[in-house]
Structure 1
Amino acid sequence: MPSTDSIMTNIYYLPKLSIIDVRGADSAAILHNVTTNAVKTLDVGQGCETFVTEIRGKTLGHGYLFRTTDGFRYLGAMNQSDVIMQHMDKYTIREDAVPTNADDQFQALVIAPGDAANLAITLPDNSAPACWQQQFAGQELTMYQVDFLGPSTVIALVPSDVMDSVCGSLAQKDITVLPEPDFHRARVHAGFPWYGIDVDDKNLPQEADRDAAAVSFTKGCYLGQETVARLDALGQVQRKLVKWSIVGIMPPVGATLDCDGKTVGRLTSIVDSSSIVDSSSEASAIAIALGFARRSHFEPGATAQGVDAETGQSFTGTVVGSDT
């Protein structure tokens, strides 16, 4: 039994993130040249969601950039750092911009929106991405405000060698740290794409449906900008990531959905969700998924059918609005 003064909160453990520190007088200029958002205008402590793009506009990374006192820090899903650093090096000739891989130095605790106050975390005045220092669970940590689980999600970046101590301090207050699969369940419910799972280097930025948060159409030239701007001018991509409500069975990752004899969707992240109600069909959904949809199925309420190739069982997917 938890104690009567226990703190109920949703806090998740992420053992790995991509963490790149970029230092040097020209770090803003180099990062401007390879990212989709307005990096140069960030003040110390401010951040932005962004894509890292190559010359054809394909995404080499997706995450957050934060301005620090001596440069920038990039945070995103794991396994991006080496590719992004090599990409930066390719376009750094005489500029003073040195990227450093800090993946192994830190682990992360992710606090769900609305739970920061329960943990005495002081949020910035608005929900924009930001970073700040704060005492937490007996340690002075850097906090980052992101949208992983919705606006005002907080990442507490914990030095790897003190993570056990931090978790022990939380346990003494009857605060349970939830494992990584629970984080991804919450992330899919929130509709946030994860690089390497939902999007990768085959995708254009607009296909992730994060334009409003992660793409500036006024910042000026950068690698891939011509492709991104052309897609914006045309009005729509041919496919984009949407959130699906699934009824029937829980399909496997990679399952496709068809409508009128054509494949219109492919699922990339799937989580059990027996408590979610699909408002368009009035039926209880057994799963929520992220997955790509063709233009015919961009809007909430669009439906398609799928079949599990191994079992032959069928399911129905309905596009629902994202929570982020």
Structure 2
Amino acid sequence: MSTPEYYVLPAVSVIDVVGADAPAIVNNLTTQEVLSLNQGQGHESFITDVRGKTVGHVHVFRQENAFRMIGAVGQSQRIAAHVDRYTIREDAIPKIRDEDFKYFLLSSAAVLKAMEAKSLDVGPGGASGSEGRTTADGSNSPNDPLDATTVSIGGIDAQLVDVRWLADDSRLMLVAAGDAAVASDELQKLGFEMHEEACFHRLRTQRGFPWYGIDIDESNLPQEINRDRETLSFTKGCYLGQETVARLDAMGQVQRKLVRWSIEGASPAPSTTLQSDGKTVGRLTSVASTGGGESCALGFARRTHFDPGAIASGIDESTQTTFVATVLK
């Protein structure tokens, strides 16, 4: 990106699970292996119920005496109740922290410029630590831990965490609600380009990241979301819903899967269905215009349309025009 950018997100789900037994409880409820994480490290993970359905989709970070789960807004009550339900005598208490913070999503370029300008002081292992996770093609390895660190901006403390919401180009800064104006002023002094939530959703759709409550809900199985490498561990041992996840892995198939679509000549609304040979083969969940009458989307596809290059058609209800949608890699 030529100009460093940041996005103001009005709300995010943040749940801290605290107590001596928090590691065991969180590991028992997540699809990723989190027990081996060091303080300040994290993984992307699903939280599953006994049927293997997705109760939540979060980034899980190990903190001092706690695990912090961070994800799309609207998940906190459900996840906290889920943790409570499966905590019997263990010492593990879920605490909802959504309203304790304000949220700034920074591009990697913004983080680096802020560090160079000495406006952002980053703790040991933070921000630059992501460079150690890059693979031969320059992308981040999906199985290596994400980073979380304490930072100082404008003289106030904040937390800076790696999130995959914009692929490998995003860091979420959590600032105490009362200090948000200080952080915002500091970012504006640096000349960063500020965007609102709608711009964030457009870009995360283009980058292919699913959002719980929009693209994912409790009816989905983890493998249907098409993020197996980032979110699933098949070596961690038992956890709630593991039997279903392992069986699907052994069978090698789900009946629907979230894929990226390229759309020609339209920008249809989410929930638009896609057809092929007279059958419904897909349903759009997030749609973003890419200009020139073209769009990209996230949406579910049936098995016949899992592979890149598969083609379907739909009707843009706002214009009553037919469009063509192609599955992207």
Give the Å deviation of 1:285: 5.9
Q: 1:302 to 1:137 in 2, by over 3 A?
A: farther
**1:292-317 superposed Cα distances (whole Å, 9 cap, x missing partner):** 01111111111100013454211111
Question: Partner of 2:60: helix, strand, or coil?
Answer: strand
Q: 1:8 to 1:114 in 2, by over 3 A?
A: closer
Residue identity matched to 1:126: G
Mapped to 2, the partners of 1:46 and 1:136 lie a distance apart of 21
- Is contact 1:116-1:123 (8 Å) kept? no
Mapped to 2, the partners of 1:152 and 1:220 lie a distance apart of 31
Mapped to 2, the partners of 1:136 and 1:247 lie a distance apart of 44
Are positions 1:301 and 2:282 aligned together?
no
Question: Partner of 2:187: helix, strand, or coil?
Answer: helix
Mapped to 2, the partners of 1:143 and 1:211 lie a distance apart of 25
Question: Partner of 1:116: helix, strand, or coil?
Answer: helix
Mapped to 1, the partners of 2:108 and 2:191 lie a distance apart of 19
- Is contact 2:283-2:301 (8 Å) kept? yes
Q: Note the 1:97-112 alignment, pairs <5 A.
A: 97-112=92-107
Give the Å deviation of 1:12: 0.7
**1:53-79 superposed Cα distances (whole Å, 9 cap, x missing partner):** 000010010011100011110000011
Corresponding residue for residue 123 of structure 1: 128
Residue identity matched to 1:68: Q
- Is contact 1:113-1:149 (8 Å) kept? no
Corresponding residue for residue 62 of structure 2: 67
Are positions 1:91 and 2:86 aligned together?
yes
Are positions 1:198 and 2:204 aligned together?
no
Mapped to 1, the partners of 2:281 and 2:308 lie a distance apart of 14
Percent same amino acid at aligned positions? Answer: 45
Are positions 1:52 and 2:47 aligned together?
yes
Corresponding residue for residue 35 of structure 1: 30
Mapped to 1, the partners of 2:8 and 2:195 lie a distance apart of 6
Corresponding residue for residue 273 of structure 1: 290
Corresponding residue for residue 286 of structure 1: 294
Corresponding residue for residue 229 of structure 2: 212
Q: Note the 1:211-250 alignment, pairs <5 A.
A: 211-250=228-267
Give the Å deviation of 1:14: 0.8
Mapped to 1, the partners of 2:168 and 2:190 lie a distance apart of 26
- Is contact 1:245-1:285 (8 Å) kept? no
**1:1-21 superposed Cα distances (whole Å, 9 cap, x missing partner):** xxxxxx921211111110011
* Match among 149, 155, 166 for residue 172 of structure 2: 155
Give the Å deviation of 1:114: 4.2
- Is contact 1:35-1:50 (8 Å) kept? yes
Q: Note the 1:166-181 alignment, pairs <5 A.
A: 166-181=183-198
**1:168-218 superposed Cα distances (whole Å, 9 cap, x missing partner):** 222223223210111111101110000000001010011111110111011
Mapped to 2, the partners of 1:113 and 1:201 lie a distance apart of 32
Which range moved further: 68-77 or 300-309?
300-309
Mapped to 1, the partners of 2:214 and 2:172 lie a distance apart of 20
Question: Partner of 1:126: helix, strand, or coil?
Answer: helix
Query: What residue ranges of structure 1 are gaps of 5+ in the alignment?
Result: 1-6, 275-283
Give the Å deviation of 1:152: 4.7
Q: How many residues align?
A: 306
Mapped to 2, the partners of 1:177 and 1:133 lie a distance apart of 22
Mapped to 2, the partners of 1:38 and 1:152 lie a distance apart of 24
TM-score, structure 2 as length reference = 0.89
**Backbone CA RMSD of aligned residues:** 1.5
Query: What residue ranges of structure 2 are gaps of 5+ in the alignment?
Result: 121-126, 134-144
- Is contact 2:53-2:222 (8 Å) kept? yes
Residue identity matched to 2:128: L
Q: 1:188 to 1:38 in 2, by over 3 A?
A: same
* Match among 267, 275, 292 for residue 258 of structure 1: 275
Give the Å deviation of 1:108: 1.1
Corresponding residue for residue 277 of structure 1: none
Which range moved further: 165-174 or 246-255?
165-174
